[in-house]
Amino acid sequence: MTTPLLELSGLTKAYPGVVANSEVSFDIARGEVHALLGENGAGKSTLVKTIYGLVQPDAGHMRLDGKSFAPAEPRAARAAGVAMVFQHFSLFDAMSVAENVALGMENPPALNRLARQIREVSHSYGLPLDPDRIVGDLSAGERQRVEIVRCLLQEPRLLIMDEPTSVLTPQEVDILFETLRKLREEGVSILYISHKLEEIRTICDRATILRHGKVVGKCDPKTTAARDMAEQMVGATLATPSRSLGNTGEVVLELTGLSAPAPRAFGTALKDIDLTLRAGEVLGIGGVAGNGQDELAMALSGEMPVAQGMIRMKGREIGRDGVTARRCMGLLCAPEERMGHAAAPDMSLTENALLTAGPREDLVRHGFLRWGRAKSFAEKVIERFDVRTPGPGTAARALSGGNLQKFVIGREIMQRPEVLVVNQPTWGVDAAAAATIRQALLDLAEAGAAVIVISQDLDELMEISDRFAALNGGALSAPRPAEGLGIDEIGMMLGGAHDMTPAHGEG
Amino acid sequence: MIRLERRPEPSRAWTLATPFVAVALTMVAGGLMFAMLGKDPVEAIRTIFWDPLFGDFASYSRPQLLVKAGPLILIAIGLSLGFRAGIWNIGAEGQYILGAIFAAATGLAIYPAESWIVFPAMIVAGALGGILWAMIPALLKVRFGTNEVLVSLMLVYVAEALLASMSLGLLRNPEGMGFPGSRNLAQYPSAANLDLIPGTGMHWGVALALIAVIVGQVVMTRHQLGFRVRLAGQSPRAAVFGGVNPGWLIVVCMGISGGLAGLAGMFEVAGPAGRLSIDFNVGYGFTAIIVAFLGRLNPIGILLAGLLMALTYIGGELAQLQMNLPLAAIQMFQGMLLFFLLAIDLMTNFSFRFGRRATA
């Protein structure tokens, strides 16, 4: 091996109050898939933004092809052959694939020529895409293809991928990995950011581990155990969530033919969902993003009331009841989006405690708020769930994602729910916080509550669920016992690869 | 290069300092404008801010301060509730007119019988008029998703036409020798809204405005309604998740703001104005929007902003009379106040960074 493609040496970047990167040095060889590992807040994003020209380092330098490389802006990075697929897509729902791709290019060719290029490139890399389709109609996996194809059209030498598999089914992950292998064969280097360790062991050649902004380890993921890598990331030994499999009790929640139209454009309609939930069980609901997860959560929380007779709790009909009435019955919910849905960003934690805990914790009397009680309830949540914050007076938006998530989940658990519905409970949360949250959910079930966990993280679902079901196009598969469920069966339940045919081996 | 950086938390210091900085900048910019018009800027600003309180004619203009500030504060308190919830009632002027029409009609229906019941009946009628007029945009928004800004604003012009029709037709003074306008309610003892302490301008409407400030403050800080209003304004999705019914909130907020605007109209028609006429409304409903924002949608702030705004009105009239300043210049001056307020308001949530792009 000659000079590496990209060398980073001594990169340091400080923000007021935190050092995001400190003396980070590693290199990426030509044609390798290099993993960048670390918890949330370990400095991965800052590092990647530095390479992509979004952030200028305070100290240190980079060399691309042995030549000094200091992109002042993403355009310069792209010109040098660096492309990036972001975790959050920047696509316009109402426009076609080709139009979306053109929007991200410096000098887009005529639309029909671009459409031909999209077709060629996407087929040759096994990610077939129809350039004329409207992005709003695409699945999450297909949207990611749009982003990837947009990058590939620039013929990059280094492709940065931030958490690329978080929105994919196992089958789609396989297709993506085929593509990455093909790119590697062509000499393209890939910087792969993820905290799914098994994936990294499958696809990556080398790994660099960050913690608190510093490189704390380098390893060959193919020969290192996932557990060892995780412990290097966290800097501590990890406890596996544990529970004594309790016996499930009587039926607490029944869904009968639950159907509802899509609440907004490009939303998903719920189709005829039947489900019986017993006290003490954890039901995992998997599925690719956008298959009705949000809608199901909203139908259960009461934000989207449904027709009479579709939802029963402990024998009582609650389909038309509002949020507060359901909360009083003991049906609590923690939505996926923390900022602006589960919590009001500009409000303090005390106020955010009032957001949902008013009726059950007696925080409101005769319409008047009982600030003292609200504050002490918020303090209890903060203490019990180890939320790192100066105090309950802090605005929610000042908390890190993981801390706010602990607060949001903790707020519901501390209200002693009989049924708890959580949507993506550990999304974007670091490994230690995720373990805390999972354990809390298991403890809750053990104490006799029924828990529904909606998640796209299959490993998480397999770890904590008693039964598993999948959402596909707004319909729910029949739940099956999670134990012994193979990855292929899960894939089938998720709806295969969503009619996305891999084109590998066709040329 | 100057860049804006979002603060992790809203700055408390700037929240308090904003109105003062805005007033100071308005004085500087306004002074420049007056100087360019060939007037002495110091004298102009003194005429606007000082003379109404302590000048030669202060004994006349001081009571006017409360008379003008009362309706502004009363309406602005109601509006601020909706504004905080993201419900934009721009039609307080129309609700104010309807309150006056309802109240005047009630009083005139009983005329000339004297009874203690007349005044309270007019208060109820005035509030009802404002509420009913505000329910039109509210219910249309809840039922059909129409834009309350447009509907409430358009209804101001309908209300003005109704006012003209009433002053010329149904409610015209039969003894008015054909002149448009109703009987003078201020001369009808049972209906008159007179000064509680003679010569101060302190009438029932002003008293109610002060009560509204206190109630408003309690509701915003201690009551569930205030919490729901703030929640709905800051994060609508979180509000729904928190159990707020958006339609219910629209009806309540529009109802309260319409009711208070109607009451302001009632107290005006029974007191300072005395009678319904074609030019009865002088823009309190619109100015109250400025007052609400100048007071940062906070009841205590609105109290101060209402007094300040009334001062610039009275001082502006004085400046027109004494210095021959054109009306447009006075309106420019009042516009500047809102402009600087909104511009400086940015500092609450953002901080300036000077220098080259070093971070991103």
H-run or E-run covering A317: strand A316-317
- State how far Cα B85 lies from the chain centre: 17
Rounded distance between C-alpha atoms, residue A417 and residue A409, angstroms: 11
How far the first Cα of chain B sits from its last, in Å, is 14
Measuring CA to CA, how many Å separate A75 from each of A82, B207, B215? 9, 63, 56
Categorize the per-residue pLDDT at B247 as very low, low, confident or very high, splitting at 50, 70 and 90. Answer: very high
Residue A507 has pLDDT above 80, yes or no: no
Write out A377-405 in H/E/C secondary structure.
HHHHHHHHCCCCCCCCCCEHHHCCHHHHH
Residue B141 has pLDDT above 80, yes or no: yes
Rounded distance between C-alpha atoms, residue B48 and residue A431, angstroms: 64
Q: Rounded to 10 degrees, what is the CA torsion of A72, A78, A83, A88?
A: 60
Residues 6+ apart with CB under 8 A from B25: B336, B340, B344
The total domain count for chain B is 1
What is the arithmetic mean of pLDDT over A111-134? 89
- Quick check: B1 contacting A, CB < 8 Å? no
Residue A325 has pLDDT above 90, yes or no: yes
pLDDT for the residue A142: 83
Q: Which of A56, A340, A398 sits opposite B9 (nearest CB)?
A: A398
Higher pLDDT, B216 or B351: B216
- Quick check: B2 contacting A, CB < 8 Å? no
Sign of CA dihedral A323, A328, A330, A334: positive
Rounded distance between C-alpha atoms, residue A123 and residue A133, angstroms: 16
User: Mean pLDDT across chain B, nearest whole number?
Assistant: 90
Count of C-beta atoms within a 10 Å radius of residue A419: 21
Rounded distance between C-alpha atoms, residue A486 and residue A494, angstroms: 12
- Give me the residue label for tokens 């459409």: A115
Lowest mean pLDDT among B191-205, B253-267, B295-309: B191-205
What is the arithmetic mean of pLDDT over B189-207? 88
Q: Of the candidates B218, B229, B212, B214, which has an alpha carbon nearest to the alpha carbon of residue B82? A: B229
Structure tokens at A108: 């887009």
Rounded distance between C-alpha atoms, residue A354 and residue A415, angstroms: 12
pLDDT for the residue B215: 97
Q: What is the pLDDT of residues A207-241, one digit of tens each?
A: 999 888 889 889 898 888 877 887 787 776 656 66
Q: Is residue B238 part of a domain?
A: yes
pLDDT for the residue B356: 54
H-run or E-run covering A197: helix A197-203
Contact between A337 and B237 using a beta-carbon 8 Å cutoff: yes
Categorize the per-residue pLDDT at B95 as very low, low, confident or very high, splitting at 50, 70 and 90. Answer: very high
pLDDT for the residue A17: 65
pLDDT for the residue A432: 79
What is the spatial order of strands in the sheet that A189-193 belongs to? Answer: A82-85, A158-162, A189-193, A33-37, A206-211, A214-219
- Quick check: B7 contacting A, CB < 8 Å? no
Q: What is the pTM of this model?
A: 0.76
Q: Is residue B25 part of a domain?
A: no
How far the first Cα of chain A sits from its last, in Å, is 29
What is the arithmetic mean of pLDDT over B339-359? 74
Categorize the per-residue pLDDT at A245 as very low, low, confident or very high, splitting at 50, 70 and 90. Answer: low
Determine the structural domain holding residue B293 and report its residue range: 73-302
Contact between B235 and A345 using a beta-carbon 8 Å cutoff: yes
Q: Is residue B163 left, alpha or beta, with left meaning phi > 0 and alpha meaning psi from -120 to 50?
A: alpha
Residues 6+ apart with CB under 8 A from A345: A339, A395, A396, A397, B234, B235
Report the range out of A232-236, A273-277, B130-134 with the highest average pLDDT.
Answer: B130-134
pLDDT for the residue A93: 82
Q: Which of B243, B358, B359 sits opposite A324 (nearest CB)?
A: B243
3-state helix, strand, coil in chain B (%, to 5): 70, 5, 25
Q: Which residues pair with A331 in a beta bridge?
A: A419
Q: Is residue B12 part of a domain?
A: no
**Residue A8 DSSP one-character state:** E
Percent of chain A with pLDDT over 90: 44
What is the arithmetic mean of pLDDT over B233-258? 95
What is the arithmetic mean of pLDDT over A383-389? 89
Measuring CA to CA, how many Å separate B43 from each of A146, A227, B326? 66, 79, 15
What is the arithmetic mean of pLDDT over A253-271? 88
What is the arithmetic mean of pLDDT over B48-67? 87
Which residues from chain A sit within 8 angstroms of residue B11, using beta carbons? none
Higher pLDDT, A193 or A430: A193
Residues 6+ apart with CB under 8 A from B229: B81, B82, B84, B85, B220, B249, B253
Categorize the per-residue pLDDT at A505 as very low, low, confident or very high, splitting at 50, 70 and 90. Answer: very low
Contact between A347 and B245 using a beta-carbon 8 Å cutoff: no
pLDDT for the residue A496: 44
Higher pLDDT, A330 or A498: A330
Residue A499 has pLDDT above 80, yes or no: no
Which residues from chain A sit within 8 angstroms of residue B240, using beta carbons? 303, 323
Q: Where in chain A is the domain with CATH 3.40.50.300?
A: 6-234, 252-493
Rounded distance between C-alpha atoms, residue A313 and residue A331, angstroms: 8
- Which top CATH class is A6-234? alpha beta
Q: Which of A54, A355, A359 sits opposite B238 (nearest CB)?
A: A355
Residue B183 has pLDDT above 70, yes or no: yes
Percent of chain B with pLDDT over 90: 59
CB distance B279 to B60 below 8 Å: no
CATH number for the domain formed by residue range(s) A252-493: 3.40.50.300
Q: Is residue B165 part of a domain?
A: yes
Residue B357 has pLDDT above 90, yes or no: no
Count of C-beta atoms within a 10 Å radius of residue B135: 16
Which residues from chain B sit within 8 angstroms of residue A345, using beta carbons? 234-235
Contact between A335 and B241 using a beta-carbon 8 Å cutoff: yes
Residue B359 has pLDDT above 70, yes or no: no
Count of C-beta atoms within a 10 Å radius of residue B18: 23
Q: Is residue B123 part of a domain?
A: yes
Q: What is the pLDDT of residues A297-321, one digit of tens each?
A: 999 999 998 998 899 999 899 999 9
H-run or E-run covering A215: strand A214-219
Q: Of the candidates A30, A49, A46, which has an alpha carbon nearest to the alpha carbon of residue A38? A: A46
pLDDT for the residue B55: 82
Contact between A340 and B237 using a beta-carbon 8 Å cutoff: yes
Which residues from chain A sit within 8 angstroms of residue B242, using beta carbons? 323, 355-356, 358
What is the arithmetic mean of pLDDT over B332-348? 85
Q: Which of A54, A341, A397 sits opposite B360 (nearest CB)?
A: A54
Categorize the per-residue pLDDT at A484 as very low, low, confident or very high, splitting at 50, 70 and 90. Answer: confident
Report the range out of A203-212, B162-171, B255-264 with the highest average pLDDT.
Answer: B255-264
Q: Which residues pair with A68 in a beta bridge?
A: A63
Q: Of the candidates B73, B49, B72, which has an alpha carbon nearest to the alpha carbon of residue B61? A: B49
What is the arithmetic mean of pLDDT over B145-174? 94
Lowest mean pLDDT among A424-438, A467-481, B57-71: A424-438
Residues 6+ apart with CB under 8 A from A357: A363, A374, A377, A411, A414, A415
Substitution target from B241, B252, B348, B351 for chain A, most A beta carbons within 10 A: B241
Contact between A49 and B227 using a beta-carbon 8 Å cutoff: no
Closest chain B residue to A334 measured between Cα atoms? B241
Q: With b meaning 16 or more CB within 10 Å and e meaning fewer, what string describes A164-187?
A: bbbbbbbbbbbbbbbbbeebbeee
Chain A contact residues (CB < 8 Å to B): 15, 49, 54-56, 301, 303, 322-324, 327, 333, 335, 337, 340-347, 351, 354-356, 358-359, 364, 367-369, 371, 394-395, 397-398
- Quick check: B237 contacting A, CB < 8 Å? yes
Lowest mean pLDDT among A52-61, A168-177, A292-301, B216-225: A168-177
Q: What is the pLDDT of residues B276-329, one digit of tens each?
A: 999 998 889 999 998 998 888 999 999 999 998 899 889 988 889 888 888 898
- Quick check: B46 contacting A, CB < 8 Å? no
Whether omega for the bond prior to residue A108 falls within 30 degrees of 0, making it cis, is no
What is the arithmetic mean of pLDDT over A436-464? 90
Q: Is residue B344 part of a domain?
A: no
Q: Is residue B143 part of a domain?
A: yes
Residue B245 has pLDDT above 60, yes or no: yes
Count of C-beta atoms within a 10 Å radius of residue A131: 22
**B 331-360 residues inside an 8 A Cβ radius of A:** 357-360
